[in-house]
Structure 1
Amino acid sequence: MKKNRLLAAAAVFALVPFTAFADECVLTIESTDQMNFSEKKMAAPASCETVKVVLKHTGSMARDMMGHNWVLTKRDDMQAIVKEGAAAGLDNNYLPQGDDRIIAATEVIGGGETTEVEFSTAGLAGEKMTFFCSFPGHSGIMKGSFEVK
């Protein structure tokens, strides 16, 4: 009887492709009214074909007062995107629209809200990337490194 269960379990695992389990490909980060992220470094296994980042704003302030988003770019592109994003305004989530330098981005959310973004990891392994909040004045503090490894 035990042998049959082991064989059945082995058969099930044989059907599962050799990729990362779903929870390794879903990353959660929190933001606060004190203008910070809960993480300074984030990483996803290279075996994840896509990554989902879930942003939770644990504060209580409104999105137009202390809103936060999560933006991923190559490290060298961050400052230009922050500058151009400020001019784009809140209606555009403080991001230049249609900008190919933005790898992934969530909408700007306020306290108590949650948002998410899913993106492909194709070509990202080994890239030097930064995540940040593009709300004006936040990126100096609210930023960190992101790796696909």
Structure 2
Amino acid sequence: MFRKSLIAVALSLVSGVASAATCSIDINSNDAMQFDTKSIEVSKECTEFTVNLHHVGKMPKNVMGHNWVLVKTPDLQGVSSDGLKAGLASDYLKADDSRIIAHTKLIGGGETDSITFPISALNGTDAYTFFCSFPGHQALMKGTLKLVD
């Protein structure tokens, strides 16, 4: 009986860890202007979601910098255009842009950054796009984020 109870506790702990893991994602970016993830599904059971961005390349951020920016899909072009004007010192993001739901800082080769944001910032009916705001990267470095049951 004790052994069965111990196994049940261990299984519940493992399932708890697996459930918590669904509230975060590791994304690699590289010197070939690519994210290794094209779509993200976020469970409505999460209260927060964390993106851990890794730049696995070697180039510095002023040459091949990457960030992860989340916006509603219709806002993508405007956020990207305004980010270009903001420049490198602002991570190619307009300061206090209310259209940006979440973003990491701009990182270079070998660097990592993370962002955690509340799921309450998402609406299950809207379409979301994540992208890199470094000039010219948006064409290749983008994907979708979807809120799921």
**TM-score with structure 2 length normalisation?**
0.88
Task: Determine if contact 2:29/2:53 at 8 Å carries over to the other structure.
Answer: yes
C-alpha deviation, 1:126, in angstroms:
3.1
Q: RMSD of the TM alignment (CA)?
A: 2.1
Provide the C-alpha distance between the structure 2 equivalents of 1:60 and 1:101, rounded to a whole number of angstroms.
31
Pairwise CA distance, 1:91 = 1.2
Secondary structure of 1:21's partner? helix
Residue 107 of structure 1: SS of its match in structure 2?
Answer: coil
Give the direction of change, closer, same or farther, for the CA distance of 1:11–1:41 in structure 2 (3 Å limit).
closer
What letter matches 2:117 in structure 1?
F
Cα distance, 1:86 vs structure 2: 0.6
Q: Match for residue 141 of structure 1?
A: 140
Note closer, same or farther for the CA distance 1:123–1:110 as it changes in structure 2 (3 Å cut).
closer
| 1:118 equivalent in structure 2 | 116
Give deviations 1:63-90, integer Å, cap 9, x for gaps: 0000000000000001000000011111
Shift of 1:137: 0.8
The answer as to whether partners of 1:126 and 1:147 remain within 8 angstroms in 2 is no
* Residue segments in structure 1 that go unaligned for 5+ positions in a row: none
Distance 1:127 1:6, change over 3 A: farther
Please state how far the C-alpha of 1:148 moved relative to its aligned partner.
1.4
> What displacement does 1:11 show?
7.0
Q: 2:49, 2:118 within 8 Å by CA — same for their partners in 1?
A: yes
> How far apart, in 2, do the equivalents of 1:32 and 1:12 lie?
38
Distance 1:102 1:121 in 2: 14
- 1:16-71 deviations in whole A, cap 9, x for unaligned? xx9x7221111011111001110111111111110000011010000000000000
